[in-house]
Amino acid sequence: MKIMKSERHNKILELIQLKEICTQEELADALNDAGYNVTQATVSRDIRELNLTKISIDGKRQKYVALQTTPPQLNDKYIRVLREGFVSMDMAQNILVIKTVAGMAMAVAAALDALSWNEIVGSIAGDDTIMCAVRTVDDTISVMNKIKKLIR
């Protein structure tokens, strides 16, 4: 079965968040261990396409991180929309249901989409309710915690 590039890219972003991956070889090994059959050339291309960079861990070693592509001021706007529209949230397995102020669901869903959280596969918004498809149950809990931190 051929794995889609977007799936591999999502896995790379997940791996560099979870582990200190310092070299292309370490990333290739981690991907191969996860069932993605990749070469060093593929990993090199993926790093370029994902706009990954390295940051210092301890002054001696460096690890890969994803560069933020959304300017910080835009993130602030999305967070403000989230704060103003959010009412409550609940989960059913890997489905996150968010209740909003009447008429705000589309704006809040657009704000969530713009934050580009890897855990969220997609969202559907009505008038005052958003349904987010999240990758896993653990990711749903993680997204709920992120939202709680943002709306404080």
Contacts of 53 (CB under 8 A, 6+ apart): 64, 65, 67
pLDDT, tens digit, 9 for 90 and up, residues 126-152: 999 999 999 999 999 999 999 999 888
Q: Residue 27: what pLDDT? A: 96
Instruction: Determine the CATH number of domain 72-151.
Output: 3.30.1360.40
Closest CA to 116 of 42, 9, 3, 38: 9
**DSSP string spanning 44-108?**
HHHHHHTTEEEEESSSS-EEEEEPP-S-HHHHHHHHHHHHHHEEEEEEETTEEEEEESTT-HHHH
Q: Is 59 exposed, middle or buried (0-12, 13-18, 19+ CB in 10 A)?
A: exposed
User: What predicted TM-score, i.e. pTM, was given to this entire model?
Assistant: 0.54
pLDDT, tens digit, 9 for 90 and up, residues 57-73: 877 888 888 876 555 56
The phi, psi pair for 4, rounded to 5°, reads: -65, 150
72-151 matches 5-66 in CATH topology: no
The band of 92, judged by pLDDT with boundaries at 50, 70 and 90, is very high
The β-bridge partners of 65 are: 53
Highest CATH level, class, for 5-66:
mainly alpha
CB 100 within 8 A of CB 128: yes
Domain coordinates in residue numbering, the chain: 5-66, 72-151
